[in-house]
Amino acid sequence: MAKNFCDFRILLLVAAGVFIYIQMRLFATQSEYADRLAAAIEAENTCTSQMRSLIDQISLQQGRIVALEEERNRRDQECGQMKSLVQDLERKDVQRLINKVQVPVAAVVIMACNRADYLERTINSVLKYQKPISSRYPLFVSQDGSNADVRSKALSYDQLSYMQHLDLKPVQTERPGELIAYYKIARHYKWALDQLFYHHNFSRVIILEDDMEIAPDFFDYFEATAALLDKDKSIMAVSSWNDNGQKQFVHDPYELYRSDFFPGLGWMLARSTWDELSPKWPKAYWDDWLRLKENHKGRQFIRPEVCRTYNFGELGSSLGQFFRQYLEPIKLNDVQVDWKSKDLSYLQEDKYAQHFANIVAKAKPVSGVNVLQETNNIDGDVRIKYRDQSDFEYIAGQFGIFQEWKDGVPRTAYKGVVVFRYPSTRARRVFLVGPESLKLLRITDS
């Protein structure tokens, strides 16, 4: 009996142990399941959050796509309108007119070196009349050297293009006592004109210096004469300057002349002529070089009676030579001439000689020791014959005009004839006539 009771207790203990083990396993399983469930719930929440974020991003992208689609449609519509407008303009031939307006008449270059104050005055004078027509006359400043004030002044203007010529080669003068400046100037001119004609491809260039002011009709004058320059190959260049353009010697702002003497000081050159001159450009004194017969080869220059430029440069390379006597008293034209309405065909080579001869032939001959006094006693035009250069200088000295000659040609002369007004208030023309002039003009000497 006791043995059986003992066995029962053992079984009971075993059963209790088994129950406890089962409960512990069950609890562990439940804990593991709870952890997995929590992890699953957390993963589900994370996935839900990510899905919501993805949905928001998709919605945003869809909004952007819609906006881009609307923008594209708007641009397509504008492009279609623009194409329609262009087609309409082409039908009306407006595009051809626009292109024609944009073709420059000539580039305008101001040659500068080391005078910033002079340069500013020149630029302001040019811009005063160039601004409304800037596309027809592109403006450049070409500086020789590295003067900081000049460079800064040129770059302060948005309305122009700046070029700088830096020549590091030493200058060797050909004769003792010559100024190096004239050699540097010649190099600068060649470089600048090469740039404008060959790099920028302009067909014409108007050359100014940094000590000039221009007249109100400066650009109209050059536009009117550009056609002559292109058509008549006997015209080497067109100038805005008259060496005898002082106030007391001029009267008519409409009068133009041909001359065998290169005036310079504001002049227009065509590319075809530069093609010839550039390869043989001189080392110095380029303006006097152009006045040599071997270089102008019988070609002539157009000049006005009343100057379209005024030279105020008392200080410069020429050290003020002739300034007080000949440059300061120059008359700058102040009349707005309508050059487009003027017939300038009389300046063509085949017409001008006869045109000029008719004027000279009508002038009354004057001779004697005191031709100045004789001239004052006559109301109309007069002509005074000179025998040679010495005689010319004597007569010119009485009136006060330029006495200088270059290569056998007096300043402003055409076929040896120098013309000026005296006095200007009476509009009388005085013709100083060379020994061969009447013969060249086919005028019978009376």
CB atoms within 10 A of CB 67: 10
> Same structural domain for residues 7 and 66?
yes
Arithmetic mean of pLDDT, 5-13? 63
> Same structural domain for residues 297 and 321?
yes
Smallest Cα–Cα separation from 206: which of 253, 147, 270?
A: 270
Q: Is 26 exposed, middle or buried (0-12, 13-18, 19+ CB in 10 A)?
A: exposed
Q: Is 388 a catalytic residue?
A: no
Catalytic residue among 252, 287, 288, 391: 287
| pLDDT of 169 | 85
Task: Identify the weakest region by mean pLDDT among 82-91, 304-313, 423-432.
Answer: 82-91
Q: Is the peptide bond before 170 cis (omega within 30 degrees of 0)?
A: no
Give the long-range contacts of residues 58-64, CB within 8 A, separation 24 or more. none
> Same structural domain for residues 410 and 319?
no
Q: What is the pLDDT of residues 332-367, one digit of tens each?
A: 999 999 999 999 999 999 999 999 999 999 999 998
Range of the domain at 359: 353-440
**pTM of the entire predicted model:** 0.76
* CATH number of the domain that residue 217 is part of: 3.90.550.10
Among 287, 312, 347, the domain boundary falls at 347
The total number of structural domains in the chain stands at 3
> Same structural domain for residues 169 and 64?
no
| pLDDT of 71 | 66
> Same structural domain for residues 136 and 233?
yes
Q: What is the pLDDT of residues 392-437, one digit of tens each?
A: 999 999 999 999 999 999 999 999 999 999 987 778 999 999 999 9
> Same structural domain for residues 60 and 117?
no
How far is it, in rounded angstroms, from Cα 340 to Cα 190? 32
Take residue 73 and report the two structure tokens written for it.
């449609």
